[in-house]
Amino acid sequence: MKNLRRAKEFVIEKLILLCGLASILFVVLIFVFLLREGVSILKTTGILSFLGGRFWYPISSPPRLGILPLILGSLLVTAGAVVMAVPLGIGAAFYIAEVAPKRLRTILKSCVEILAAIPSVVLGFVGITVLVPFLKNFLHLPTGLTAFAGSLMLAFMALPTIISISEDAINAVPREYKDGALALGATHWQALRRVVIHGALPGIIAAAMLGIGRVFGETMAVMMVTGNAAVIPHSLFEPVRTLTATIAAEMGEAAKGSPHYFALFAIGIVLFLISFAINLTADLLLNRGKKK
Amino acid sequence: MKPRNEGLRQKLGFGVLLLATLIVVIPVLGIVGLIIAKGWGALSWSFLFSMPRDGMRAGGIWPAIVGTFYLVFVSIAFALPIGVAAAIYLNEYAKDNGLTRAINLAIINLAGVSSVVFGLFGLSLFVIFLRFGVSIISGALTLGIMTLPVIITTTREALRAVPKSYREVSFSLGASHWQTVRHSVLPHALPGILTGAILSIGRVAGETAPILFTVAAFYLPNLPTSLSDQAMALPYHLYVITSQIPGIPEGFRFGTAFVLIALVLIMNVSASIIRSRYRKKK
Protein backbone atom coordinates (compact mmCIF):
# COMPACT_ATOMS: atom_id res chain seq x y z
CA MET A 1 0.00 0.00 0.00
CA LYS A 2 2.69 2.43 1.01
CA ASN A 3 4.79 1.42 -1.96
CA LEU A 4 1.90 2.11 -4.28
CA ARG A 5 1.50 5.57 -2.82
CA ARG A 6 5.20 6.21 -3.19
CA ALA A 7 5.12 5.09 -6.79
CA LYS A 8 2.16 7.36 -7.44
CA GLU A 9 3.94 10.33 -5.93
CA PHE A 10 7.06 9.54 -7.89
CA VAL A 11 5.09 9.64 -11.12
CA ILE A 12 3.32 12.86 -10.15
CA GLU A 13 6.57 14.57 -9.24
CA LYS A 14 8.18 13.53 -12.50
CA LEU A 15 5.15 14.85 -14.40
CA ILE A 16 5.46 18.15 -12.59
CA LEU A 17 9.13 18.34 -13.46
CA LEU A 18 8.25 17.61 -17.08
CA CYS A 19 5.77 20.50 -17.15
CA GLY A 20 8.41 22.69 -15.56
CA LEU A 21 10.69 21.86 -18.44
CA ALA A 22 7.92 22.50 -20.99
CA SER A 23 8.80 26.19 -21.35
CA ILE A 24 12.36 25.34 -22.34
CA LEU A 25 11.04 22.71 -24.72
CA PHE A 26 8.68 25.17 -26.40
CA VAL A 27 11.33 27.86 -26.83
CA VAL A 28 13.64 25.30 -28.39
CA LEU A 29 10.82 23.95 -30.57
CA ILE A 30 9.96 27.44 -31.81
CA PHE A 31 13.54 28.02 -32.83
CA VAL A 32 13.96 24.60 -34.43
CA PHE A 33 10.75 24.79 -36.41
CA LEU A 34 11.48 28.30 -37.63
CA LEU A 35 14.90 27.09 -38.74
CA ARG A 36 13.42 24.02 -40.35
CA GLU A 37 11.42 26.12 -42.80
CA GLY A 38 13.52 29.26 -42.87
CA VAL A 39 17.04 28.05 -43.38
CA SER A 40 16.34 27.02 -46.97
CA ILE A 41 16.39 30.69 -47.94
CA LEU A 42 20.16 30.42 -47.89
CA LYS A 43 19.99 28.15 -50.93
CA THR A 44 18.56 30.92 -53.10
CA THR A 45 19.61 34.11 -51.34
CA GLY A 46 22.84 34.62 -49.41
CA ILE A 47 22.60 35.84 -45.84
CA LEU A 48 24.05 39.24 -46.73
CA SER A 49 21.78 39.86 -49.67
CA PHE A 50 18.85 38.70 -47.53
CA LEU A 51 19.58 41.01 -44.58
CA GLY A 52 21.09 43.86 -46.59
CA GLY A 53 19.17 43.65 -49.88
CA ARG A 54 17.44 46.89 -50.72
CA PHE A 55 14.52 45.39 -52.63
CA TRP A 56 11.64 43.26 -51.45
CA TYR A 57 9.91 42.03 -54.61
CA PRO A 58 8.78 38.57 -53.52
CA ILE A 59 6.61 37.81 -56.55
CA SER A 60 8.76 39.16 -59.36
CA SER A 61 10.73 36.54 -61.23
CA PRO A 62 13.32 35.88 -60.09
CA PRO A 63 12.12 37.13 -56.71
CA ARG A 64 14.24 39.68 -54.91
CA LEU A 65 14.18 39.00 -51.22
CA GLY A 66 16.12 41.73 -49.45
CA ILE A 67 14.61 42.66 -46.11
CA LEU A 68 16.49 45.92 -45.50
CA PRO A 69 13.38 48.03 -46.26
CA LEU A 70 11.42 45.96 -43.76
CA ILE A 71 14.12 46.19 -41.08
CA LEU A 72 14.29 49.95 -41.56
CA GLY A 73 10.50 50.13 -41.49
CA SER A 74 10.41 48.27 -38.19
CA LEU A 75 13.21 50.40 -36.75
CA LEU A 76 11.58 53.65 -37.81
CA VAL A 77 8.17 52.78 -36.39
CA THR A 78 9.77 51.45 -33.21
CA ALA A 79 11.98 54.52 -32.75
CA GLY A 80 8.99 56.81 -33.17
CA ALA A 81 7.02 54.81 -30.63
CA VAL A 82 9.86 54.69 -28.11
CA VAL A 83 10.47 58.44 -28.23
CA MET A 84 6.85 58.98 -27.27
CA ALA A 85 6.21 56.07 -24.94
CA VAL A 86 9.32 56.01 -22.76
CA PRO A 87 9.10 59.53 -21.27
CA LEU A 88 5.31 59.31 -20.93
CA GLY A 89 5.48 55.88 -19.37
CA ILE A 90 8.16 56.79 -16.85
CA GLY A 91 6.33 60.01 -15.94
CA ALA A 92 3.07 58.15 -15.46
CA ALA A 93 4.82 55.45 -13.43
CA PHE A 94 6.25 58.06 -11.05
CA TYR A 95 2.88 59.76 -10.74
CA ILE A 96 1.08 56.51 -10.02
CA ALA A 97 3.71 55.16 -7.63
CA GLU A 98 4.64 58.31 -5.72
CA VAL A 99 2.22 61.19 -6.19
CA ALA A 100 -1.31 59.93 -6.77
CA PRO A 101 -3.56 59.55 -3.71
CA LYS A 102 -4.55 55.97 -2.95
CA ARG A 103 -8.00 55.94 -4.55
CA LEU A 104 -6.82 57.66 -7.70
CA ARG A 105 -3.92 55.23 -7.88
CA THR A 106 -6.31 52.26 -8.00
CA ILE A 107 -8.33 53.89 -10.77
CA LEU A 108 -5.24 54.78 -12.81
CA LYS A 109 -3.83 51.30 -12.42
CA SER A 110 -7.01 49.72 -13.69
CA CYS A 111 -6.97 52.07 -16.69
CA VAL A 112 -3.47 50.86 -17.49
CA GLU A 113 -4.64 47.25 -17.09
CA ILE A 114 -7.53 47.90 -19.47
CA LEU A 115 -5.11 49.33 -22.01
CA ALA A 116 -2.96 46.22 -21.70
CA ALA A 117 -6.01 44.05 -22.25
CA ILE A 118 -7.39 45.71 -25.39
CA PRO A 119 -6.62 43.33 -28.27
CA SER A 120 -4.24 44.77 -30.83
CA VAL A 121 -6.73 44.24 -33.65
CA VAL A 122 -9.21 46.48 -31.81
CA LEU A 123 -6.56 49.19 -31.45
CA GLY A 124 -5.78 48.78 -35.14
CA PHE A 125 -9.47 49.15 -35.92
CA VAL A 126 -9.73 52.35 -33.88
CA GLY A 127 -6.53 53.54 -35.54
CA ILE A 128 -7.98 53.02 -39.00
CA THR A 129 -11.39 54.54 -38.24
CA VAL A 130 -10.32 57.51 -36.11
CA LEU A 131 -6.58 58.18 -36.10
CA VAL A 132 -5.74 57.68 -39.77
CA PRO A 133 -8.39 60.05 -41.21
CA PHE A 134 -7.53 62.58 -38.50
CA LEU A 135 -3.81 62.52 -39.36
CA LYS A 136 -4.59 62.85 -43.05
CA ASN A 137 -6.69 65.98 -42.57
CA PHE A 138 -4.69 67.50 -39.76
CA LEU A 139 -1.25 67.14 -41.36
CA HIS A 140 -2.48 67.46 -44.96
CA LEU A 141 -0.94 64.18 -46.01
CA PRO A 142 -1.85 62.20 -49.14
CA THR A 143 -2.66 59.30 -46.83
CA GLY A 144 -2.93 58.91 -43.09
CA LEU A 145 -1.58 55.35 -43.31
CA THR A 146 1.97 56.24 -42.28
CA ALA A 147 4.83 55.17 -40.07
CA PHE A 148 3.73 57.94 -37.72
CA ALA A 149 0.29 56.40 -37.26
CA GLY A 150 2.02 53.10 -36.50
CA SER A 151 4.34 54.76 -33.99
CA LEU A 152 1.39 56.35 -32.19
CA MET A 153 -0.47 53.04 -31.93
CA LEU A 154 2.64 51.20 -30.81
CA ALA A 155 3.59 53.85 -28.27
CA PHE A 156 0.21 53.24 -26.77
CA MET A 157 0.65 49.49 -26.72
CA ALA A 158 4.09 49.73 -25.10
CA LEU A 159 2.85 51.99 -22.29
CA PRO A 160 1.33 49.33 -20.01
CA THR A 161 4.58 47.33 -20.06
CA ILE A 162 6.72 50.40 -19.41
CA ILE A 163 4.44 51.78 -16.69
CA SER A 164 3.92 48.59 -14.70
CA ILE A 165 7.57 47.49 -14.70
CA SER A 166 8.85 51.01 -13.92
CA GLU A 167 6.30 51.27 -11.14
CA ASP A 168 7.55 48.00 -9.64
CA ALA A 169 11.12 49.32 -9.85
CA ILE A 170 10.14 52.58 -8.12
CA ASN A 171 8.29 50.73 -5.38
CA ALA A 172 11.27 48.44 -4.87
CA VAL A 173 13.58 51.33 -3.94
CA PRO A 174 14.16 51.04 -0.18
CA ARG A 175 12.02 53.51 1.78
CA GLU A 176 15.01 54.68 3.79
CA TYR A 177 16.54 56.34 0.71
CA LYS A 178 13.56 58.62 0.30
CA ASP A 179 13.10 59.16 4.05
CA GLY A 180 16.76 60.06 4.35
CA ALA A 181 16.48 62.67 1.63
CA LEU A 182 13.30 64.09 3.15
CA ALA A 183 14.93 64.23 6.59
CA LEU A 184 17.78 66.26 5.10
CA GLY A 185 15.24 68.86 4.08
CA ALA A 186 14.67 67.86 0.48
CA THR A 187 11.21 68.32 -0.98
CA HIS A 188 9.32 65.23 -2.16
CA TRP A 189 10.12 66.23 -5.75
CA GLN A 190 13.83 66.59 -5.00
CA ALA A 191 13.85 63.22 -3.30
CA LEU A 192 12.27 61.66 -6.41
CA ARG A 193 14.58 63.40 -8.87
CA ARG A 194 17.84 63.02 -6.99
CA VAL A 195 17.44 59.82 -5.00
CA VAL A 196 14.59 57.49 -5.93
CA ILE A 197 15.24 57.63 -9.67
CA HIS A 198 18.80 56.35 -9.18
CA GLY A 199 17.65 53.36 -7.21
CA ALA A 200 14.98 52.57 -9.76
CA LEU A 201 17.11 53.14 -12.85
CA PRO A 202 18.06 49.55 -13.78
CA GLY A 203 14.41 48.54 -13.52
CA ILE A 204 13.29 51.54 -15.55
CA ILE A 205 15.80 50.74 -18.29
CA ALA A 206 14.58 47.16 -18.31
CA ALA A 207 11.01 48.45 -18.55
CA ALA A 208 11.93 50.56 -21.56
CA MET A 209 13.64 47.59 -23.20
CA LEU A 210 10.69 45.28 -22.67
CA GLY A 211 8.48 48.03 -24.09
CA ILE A 212 10.72 48.14 -27.15
CA GLY A 213 10.48 44.36 -27.45
CA ARG A 214 6.71 44.56 -27.32
CA VAL A 215 6.67 47.26 -30.00
CA PHE A 216 9.09 45.50 -32.31
CA GLY A 217 7.07 42.30 -32.32
CA GLU A 218 3.62 43.87 -32.54
CA THR A 219 1.78 42.81 -35.65
CA MET A 220 -1.89 43.49 -36.20
CA ALA A 221 -2.30 47.15 -35.24
CA VAL A 222 0.86 48.12 -37.05
CA MET A 223 -0.14 46.21 -40.17
CA MET A 224 -3.52 47.92 -40.24
CA VAL A 225 -2.34 51.52 -39.92
CA THR A 226 1.08 51.80 -41.61
CA GLY A 227 0.03 51.48 -45.23
CA ASN A 228 2.26 48.50 -46.03
CA ALA A 229 4.66 49.88 -48.60
CA ALA A 230 7.76 47.69 -48.66
CA VAL A 231 10.21 50.40 -49.67
CA ILE A 232 13.06 52.02 -47.79
CA PRO A 233 11.38 54.77 -45.75
CA HIS A 234 12.58 58.36 -45.85
CA SER A 235 10.32 59.96 -43.29
CA LEU A 236 7.83 59.19 -40.54
CA PHE A 237 5.02 60.52 -42.70
CA GLU A 238 5.17 57.89 -45.43
CA PRO A 239 3.68 54.43 -45.60
CA VAL A 240 6.08 51.72 -44.42
CA ARG A 241 6.07 47.97 -43.94
CA THR A 242 7.44 46.27 -40.84
CA LEU A 243 8.97 42.80 -40.50
CA THR A 244 5.97 41.50 -38.57
CA ALA A 245 3.39 42.95 -40.96
CA THR A 246 5.18 41.38 -43.91
CA ILE A 247 4.84 37.90 -42.44
CA ALA A 248 1.21 38.42 -41.48
CA ALA A 249 0.21 39.94 -44.80
CA GLU A 250 2.07 37.62 -47.17
CA MET A 251 2.16 34.18 -45.58
CA GLY A 252 -1.34 33.45 -46.80
CA GLU A 253 -0.30 33.96 -50.42
CA ALA A 254 3.22 32.51 -50.41
CA ALA A 255 3.34 29.10 -52.08
CA LYS A 256 4.68 26.47 -49.70
CA GLY A 257 8.27 25.61 -50.57
CA SER A 258 8.88 28.76 -52.62
CA PRO A 259 11.77 31.13 -51.85
CA HIS A 260 9.17 33.68 -50.74
CA TYR A 261 7.80 31.20 -48.18
CA PHE A 262 11.27 30.41 -46.85
CA ALA A 263 12.08 34.12 -46.67
CA LEU A 264 9.02 34.78 -44.51
CA PHE A 265 10.18 32.10 -42.06
CA ALA A 266 13.66 33.58 -42.13
CA ILE A 267 12.13 36.93 -41.12
CA GLY A 268 10.56 35.01 -38.24
CA ILE A 269 14.04 33.82 -37.21
CA VAL A 270 15.29 37.41 -37.26
CA LEU A 271 12.37 38.52 -35.08
CA PHE A 272 12.89 35.61 -32.70
CA LEU A 273 16.59 36.38 -32.26
CA ILE A 274 15.93 40.08 -31.70
CA SER A 275 13.29 39.44 -29.05
CA PHE A 276 15.58 36.86 -27.44
CA ALA A 277 18.40 39.42 -27.17
CA ILE A 278 16.10 42.14 -25.81
CA ASN A 279 14.53 39.91 -23.19
CA LEU A 280 17.85 38.47 -22.09
CA THR A 281 19.33 41.93 -21.55
CA ALA A 282 16.25 43.22 -19.75
CA ASP A 283 16.28 40.17 -17.48
CA LEU A 284 19.93 40.69 -16.60
CA LEU A 285 19.21 44.32 -15.72
CA LEU A 286 16.20 43.39 -13.58
CA ASN A 287 18.12 40.74 -11.67
CA ARG A 288 21.07 43.04 -11.12
CA GLY A 289 18.68 45.65 -9.75
CA LYS A 290 17.23 43.08 -7.37
CA LYS A 291 20.53 41.86 -6.01
CA LYS A 292 21.55 45.36 -4.98
CA MET B 1 13.34 82.57 -1.04
CA LYS B 2 14.80 79.18 -1.78
CA PRO B 3 12.25 76.91 -0.11
CA ARG B 4 9.47 78.76 -1.89
CA ASN B 5 11.27 78.25 -5.17
CA GLU B 6 11.56 74.55 -4.44
CA GLY B 7 7.89 74.37 -3.59
CA LEU B 8 7.08 75.85 -6.97
CA ARG B 9 9.41 73.41 -8.67
CA GLN B 10 7.71 70.52 -6.94
CA LYS B 11 4.32 71.76 -8.12
CA LEU B 12 5.60 72.07 -11.66
CA GLY B 13 7.25 68.67 -11.55
CA PHE B 14 4.15 66.93 -10.23
CA GLY B 15 2.13 68.83 -12.81
CA VAL B 16 4.26 67.37 -15.60
CA LEU B 17 3.88 63.86 -14.17
CA LEU B 18 0.11 64.32 -13.93
CA LEU B 19 0.02 65.53 -17.53
CA ALA B 20 1.93 62.43 -18.70
CA THR B 21 -0.54 60.24 -16.83
CA LEU B 22 -3.52 62.03 -18.35
CA ILE B 23 -2.09 61.67 -21.86
CA VAL B 24 -1.97 57.92 -21.24
CA VAL B 25 -5.31 57.49 -19.50
CA ILE B 26 -7.66 59.78 -21.43
CA PRO B 27 -7.24 58.02 -24.80
CA VAL B 28 -7.89 54.67 -23.10
CA LEU B 29 -11.20 55.93 -21.78
CA GLY B 30 -11.85 57.53 -25.18
CA ILE B 31 -11.29 54.28 -27.08
CA VAL B 32 -13.41 52.18 -24.75
CA GLY B 33 -16.09 54.87 -24.66
CA LEU B 34 -16.19 55.20 -28.45
CA ILE B 35 -16.53 51.46 -29.00
CA ILE B 36 -19.23 51.14 -26.39
CA ALA B 37 -21.14 54.17 -27.70
CA LYS B 38 -21.02 53.15 -31.35
CA GLY B 39 -21.09 49.40 -30.86
CA TRP B 40 -24.01 49.24 -28.47
CA GLY B 41 -26.45 50.45 -31.13
CA ALA B 42 -25.33 47.75 -33.56
CA LEU B 43 -26.04 44.92 -31.15
CA SER B 44 -29.14 42.89 -31.74
CA TRP B 45 -30.29 39.35 -31.35
CA SER B 46 -29.76 38.65 -35.03
CA PHE B 47 -26.34 40.35 -35.14
CA LEU B 48 -25.07 38.08 -32.38
CA PHE B 49 -26.79 34.85 -33.30
CA SER B 50 -27.07 34.61 -37.06
CA MET B 51 -24.71 33.64 -39.85
CA PRO B 52 -23.12 36.34 -42.02
CA ARG B 53 -24.84 36.99 -45.37
CA ASP B 54 -24.11 38.94 -48.58
CA GLY B 55 -20.30 38.77 -48.29
CA MET B 56 -20.56 39.65 -44.58
CA ARG B 57 -22.35 42.91 -45.31
CA ALA B 58 -25.46 41.57 -43.61
CA GLY B 59 -26.40 38.93 -41.07
CA GLY B 60 -24.41 38.38 -37.92
CA ILE B 61 -21.21 37.17 -36.31
CA TRP B 62 -22.37 33.93 -34.70
CA PRO B 63 -19.73 31.66 -36.32
CA ALA B 64 -16.95 34.00 -35.17
CA ILE B 65 -18.26 33.87 -31.61
CA VAL B 66 -18.48 30.08 -31.74
CA GLY B 67 -14.97 29.82 -33.21
CA THR B 68 -13.47 32.02 -30.53
CA PHE B 69 -15.27 29.99 -27.88
CA TYR B 70 -13.77 26.77 -29.26
CA LEU B 71 -10.27 28.27 -29.42
CA VAL B 72 -10.44 29.61 -25.87
CA PHE B 73 -11.77 26.37 -24.45
CA VAL B 74 -9.27 24.05 -26.14
CA SER B 75 -6.24 26.25 -25.59
CA ILE B 76 -6.97 26.76 -21.89
CA ALA B 77 -7.68 23.05 -21.43
CA PHE B 78 -4.22 22.42 -22.87
CA ALA B 79 -2.26 25.23 -21.24
CA LEU B 80 -3.79 25.40 -17.75
CA PRO B 81 -2.62 22.00 -16.45
CA ILE B 82 0.87 22.44 -17.91
CA GLY B 83 1.17 26.00 -16.68
CA VAL B 84 -0.05 25.23 -13.16
CA ALA B 85 2.23 22.21 -12.89
CA ALA B 86 5.17 24.25 -14.15
CA ALA B 87 4.48 26.89 -11.51
CA ILE B 88 4.22 24.19 -8.83
CA TYR B 89 7.56 22.83 -9.94
CA LEU B 90 9.22 26.25 -9.88
CA ASN B 91 7.80 27.33 -6.55
CA GLU B 92 7.64 24.07 -4.58
CA TYR B 93 10.29 21.74 -5.98
CA ALA B 94 12.96 23.63 -7.90
CA LYS B 95 16.27 24.37 -6.29
CA ASP B 96 18.12 27.57 -7.00
CA ASN B 97 20.30 26.16 -9.76
CA GLY B 98 21.15 26.51 -13.42
CA LEU B 99 18.14 24.53 -14.57
CA THR B 100 15.72 26.78 -12.72
CA ARG B 101 17.44 29.81 -14.15
CA ALA B 102 17.11 28.33 -17.64
CA ILE B 103 13.40 27.69 -17.12
CA ASN B 104 12.84 31.25 -15.93
CA LEU B 105 14.69 32.58 -18.93
CA ALA B 106 12.62 30.41 -21.25
CA ILE B 107 9.40 31.72 -19.72
CA ILE B 108 10.53 35.31 -20.17
CA ASN B 109 11.42 34.60 -23.77
CA LEU B 110 8.18 32.83 -24.46
CA ALA B 111 6.41 35.91 -23.16
CA GLY B 112 8.46 38.16 -25.41
CA VAL B 113 8.20 36.30 -28.71
CA SER B 114 6.21 38.22 -31.31
CA SER B 115 2.69 36.93 -31.77
CA VAL B 116 3.16 36.50 -35.51
CA VAL B 117 6.23 34.34 -34.85
CA PHE B 118 3.96 32.09 -32.78
CA GLY B 119 1.79 31.92 -35.87
CA LEU B 120 4.75 30.78 -37.99
CA PHE B 121 5.70 28.24 -35.36
CA GLY B 122 2.18 26.84 -35.23
CA LEU B 123 2.10 26.61 -39.00
CA SER B 124 5.43 24.83 -39.13
CA LEU B 125 4.90 22.41 -36.22
CA PHE B 126 1.17 21.71 -35.96
CA VAL B 127 -0.19 22.43 -39.43
CA ILE B 128 2.65 21.00 -41.52
CA PHE B 129 4.90 18.73 -39.47
CA LEU B 130 2.25 17.05 -37.32
CA ARG B 131 -0.27 17.25 -40.17
CA PHE B 132 -3.08 18.69 -38.11
CA GLY B 133 -3.81 20.98 -41.03
CA VAL B 134 -5.35 24.41 -40.70
CA SER B 135 -7.66 23.53 -37.85
CA ILE B 136 -9.01 24.47 -34.44
CA ILE B 137 -6.54 22.11 -32.77
CA SER B 138 -3.53 23.73 -34.49
CA GLY B 139 -4.69 27.23 -33.60
CA ALA B 140 -5.65 26.34 -30.04
CA LEU B 141 -2.31 24.64 -29.31
CA THR B 142 -0.46 27.66 -30.72
CA LEU B 143 -2.51 30.01 -28.56
CA GLY B 144 -2.07 27.74 -25.56
CA ILE B 145 1.72 27.82 -25.79
CA MET B 146 1.59 31.58 -26.22
CA THR B 147 -0.43 32.05 -23.06
CA LEU B 148 1.65 29.70 -20.87
CA PRO B 149 3.81 32.49 -19.41
CA VAL B 150 0.70 34.33 -18.16
CA ILE B 151 -0.59 31.20 -16.41
CA ILE B 152 2.80 30.28 -14.97
CA THR B 153 3.58 33.72 -13.56
CA THR B 154 0.16 34.30 -11.99
CA THR B 155 0.04 30.80 -10.51
CA ARG B 156 3.52 31.25 -9.16
CA GLU B 157 2.58 34.48 -7.45
CA ALA B 158 -0.42 32.75 -5.93
CA LEU B 159 1.75 29.92 -4.62
CA ARG B 160 4.32 32.33 -3.29
CA ALA B 161 1.63 34.12 -1.30
CA VAL B 162 0.77 30.96 0.66
CA PRO B 163 2.57 31.35 4.01
CA LYS B 164 5.55 29.11 4.60
CA SER B 165 4.13 27.93 7.93
CA TYR B 166 1.33 26.02 6.13
CA ARG B 167 3.94 23.83 4.50
CA GLU B 168 5.94 23.42 7.69
CA VAL B 169 2.91 22.30 9.66
CA SER B 170 2.02 19.79 6.97
CA PHE B 171 5.56 18.40 6.85
CA SER B 172 5.75 18.16 10.62
CA LEU B 173 2.58 16.05 10.61
CA GLY B 174 4.42 13.57 8.43
CA ALA B 175 2.87 14.49 5.09
CA SER B 176 4.93 13.89 1.98
CA HIS B 177 6.01 16.66 -0.34
CA TRP B 178 3.19 16.08 -2.83
CA GLN B 179 0.57 15.68 -0.08
CA THR B 180 1.68 19.01 1.32
CA VAL B 181 1.41 20.71 -2.04
CA ARG B 182 -1.91 19.04 -2.82
CA HIS B 183 -3.68 19.62 0.51
CA SER B 184 -1.97 22.56 2.21
CA VAL B 185 -0.78 24.79 -0.60
CA LEU B 186 -2.95 24.41 -3.70
CA PRO B 187 -6.33 25.05 -2.03
CA HIS B 188 -5.10 28.41 -0.78
CA ALA B 189 -3.63 29.34 -4.14
CA LEU B 190 -6.81 28.48 -6.04
CA PRO B 191 -8.20 32.03 -6.40
CA GLY B 192 -4.86 33.20 -7.74
CA ILE B 193 -4.72 30.34 -10.23
CA LEU B 194 -8.27 31.17 -11.32
CA THR B 195 -7.22 34.78 -11.88
CA GLY B 196 -4.42 33.64 -14.16
CA ALA B 197 -6.72 31.35 -16.11
CA ILE B 198 -9.29 34.09 -16.62
CA LEU B 199 -6.65 36.60 -17.72
CA SER B 200 -5.32 34.20 -20.28
CA ILE B 201 -8.83 33.56 -21.60
CA GLY B 202 -9.01 37.28 -22.33
CA ARG B 203 -5.64 37.15 -24.02
CA VAL B 204 -6.46 34.11 -26.14
CA ALA B 205 -9.82 35.53 -27.20
CA GLY B 206 -8.23 38.71 -28.52
CA GLU B 207 -5.15 37.44 -30.36
CA THR B 208 -5.16 37.55 -34.14
CA ALA B 209 -1.66 36.98 -35.47
CA PRO B 210 -1.15 33.45 -34.05
CA ILE B 211 -4.37 32.21 -35.67
CA LEU B 212 -3.86 33.79 -39.10
CA PHE B 213 -2.19 30.73 -40.64
CA THR B 214 -3.19 28.05 -38.16
CA VAL B 215 -6.98 28.13 -37.97
CA ALA B 216 -8.69 31.31 -39.06
CA ALA B 217 -11.07 31.23 -41.99
CA PHE B 218 -12.24 34.28 -43.87
CA TYR B 219 -15.75 32.95 -44.17
CA LEU B 220 -17.32 29.56 -43.55
CA PRO B 221 -20.88 28.65 -44.46
CA ASN B 222 -21.17 26.15 -41.59
CA LEU B 223 -20.22 26.05 -37.96
CA PRO B 224 -17.20 23.87 -37.11
CA THR B 225 -18.17 20.37 -36.05
CA SER B 226 -14.83 18.95 -34.93
CA LEU B 227 -11.42 20.09 -33.76
CA SER B 228 -9.92 19.38 -37.16
CA ASP B 229 -12.18 21.94 -38.85
CA GLN B 230 -11.23 25.48 -39.67
CA ALA B 231 -13.08 28.17 -37.78
CA MET B 232 -13.86 31.83 -37.91
CA ALA B 233 -12.80 33.88 -34.90
CA LEU B 234 -13.80 37.30 -33.56
CA PRO B 235 -10.45 39.09 -33.77
CA TYR B 236 -9.73 37.79 -37.26
CA HIS B 237 -13.27 38.64 -38.32
CA LEU B 238 -12.78 42.22 -37.11
CA TYR B 239 -9.55 42.41 -39.09
CA VAL B 240 -11.23 41.06 -42.20
CA ILE B 241 -14.22 43.39 -42.13
CA THR B 242 -11.99 46.36 -41.26
CA SER B 243 -9.18 46.08 -43.76
CA GLN B 244 -9.97 43.32 -46.22
CA ILE B 245 -13.51 43.90 -47.44
CA PRO B 246 -14.64 47.36 -48.47
CA GLY B 247 -18.15 48.62 -47.89
CA ILE B 248 -18.96 46.90 -44.63
CA PRO B 249 -21.45 49.02 -42.67
CA GLU B 250 -19.74 50.88 -39.83
CA GLY B 251 -22.16 49.43 -37.29
CA PHE B 252 -20.94 45.91 -38.08
CA ARG B 253 -17.35 46.83 -37.37
CA PHE B 254 -18.12 48.65 -34.16
CA GLY B 255 -20.50 45.89 -33.12
CA THR B 256 -17.80 43.24 -33.62
CA ALA B 257 -15.22 45.38 -31.81
CA PHE B 258 -17.74 45.85 -29.01
CA VAL B 259 -18.33 42.12 -28.56
CA LEU B 260 -14.60 41.44 -28.57
CA ILE B 261 -13.71 44.18 -26.14
CA ALA B 262 -16.65 43.32 -23.88
CA LEU B 263 -15.46 39.72 -23.73
CA VAL B 264 -11.91 40.74 -22.85
CA LEU B 265 -12.93 43.38 -20.31
CA ILE B 266 -15.43 41.11 -18.57
CA MET B 267 -12.62 38.58 -18.15
CA ASN B 268 -10.29 41.21 -16.74
CA VAL B 269 -12.84 42.70 -14.38
CA SER B 270 -13.81 39.30 -12.99
CA ALA B 271 -10.14 38.46 -12.54
CA SER B 272 -9.53 41.59 -10.53
CA ILE B 273 -12.70 41.06 -8.45
CA ILE B 274 -11.51 37.58 -7.51
CA ARG B 275 -8.08 38.94 -6.74
CA SER B 276 -9.28 41.76 -4.49
CA ARG B 277 -11.77 39.53 -2.62
CA TYR B 278 -9.03 37.05 -1.98
CA ARG B 279 -6.71 39.76 -0.71
CA LYS B 280 -9.34 41.12 1.65
CA LYS B 281 -9.94 37.70 3.16
CA LYS B 282 -6.32 37.25 4.08
Question: Could you report the per-residue pLDDT of B83-130, keeping only the tens digit for each?
Answer: 999 999 999 999 888 899 999 999 999 999 999 999 999 999 999 999
Q: What is the pLDDT of residue B280?
A: 65
A99·B89 Cβ contact <8 A? no
B232 close to B64: Cβ distance less than 8 angstroms: yes
Question: Could you report the per-residue pLDDT of B122-178, keeping only the tens digit for each?
Answer: 999 999 999 999 999 999 999 999 999 999 999 999 999 899 999 999 999 988 889
Q: Report the CATH superfamily, name and number, of domain A47-291.
A: MetI-like (1.10.3720.10)
Q: What is the pLDDT of residue A91?
A: 94
Q: Tally Cβ neighbours within 10 Å of residue A93.
A: 30
b/e sequence A168-178, b meaning 16+ C-beta within 10 Å: bbbeebeeeeb
Establish whether the linkage from the previous residue to A62 is cis, with ω within 30° of 0: yes
Closest CB to B106 among A23, A90, A163: A23
Contacts with B93 from chain A: Cβ below 8 Å? 13, 16-17, 20
B27·A218 Cβ contact <8 A? no
pLDDT at residue B2 greater than cutoff 70: no
C-alpha B138/C-alpha B265 separation (Å) is 26
pLDDT band at A75 (very low <50, low <70, confident <90, very high): very high
B63-232 maps to CATH 1.10.10.60: no
Q: What is the ipTM of this complex?
A: 0.90
Structural domain boundaries of chain B?
Answer: 63-232
Cβ-proximal residues to B237 (8 Å cutoff; 6+ apart), any chain: B61, B64, B256
pLDDT at residue A192 greater than cutoff 70: yes
pLDDT band at A1 (very low <50, low <70, confident <90, very high): low
Structural domain boundaries of chain A?
Answer: 2-38, 47-291
Question: Could you report the per-residue pLDDT of A230-268, keeping only the tens digit for each?
Answer: 788 888 888 999 999 999 999 988 888 888 999 999 999
pLDDT at residue A165 greater than cutoff 70: yes
What is the nearest CA distance from B121 to chain A, expressed in angstroms?
Answer: 6
Q: What is the pLDDT of residue A119?
A: 93
DSSP letter for each residue of chain B: -HHHHHHHHHHHHHHHHHHHHHHHHHHHHHHHHHHHHHHHTT--HHHHHS-EETTTTEE--HHHHHHHHHHHHHHHHHHHHHHHHHHHIIIII--SSHHHHHHHHHHHHHHHS-HHHHHHHHIIIIIIIS---SSHHHHHHHHHHHHHHHHHHHHHHHHHTS-HHHHHHHHHTT--HHHHIIIIIHHHHHHHHHHHHHHHHHHHHH--GGGTTTTB-S--SS---STTS-B--HHHHHHIIIIISTT--HHHHHHHHHHHHHHHHHHHHHHHHHHHHHHHH-
A281 close to A209: Cβ distance less than 8 angstroms: yes
Closest CB to B264 among A13, A16, A117: A117
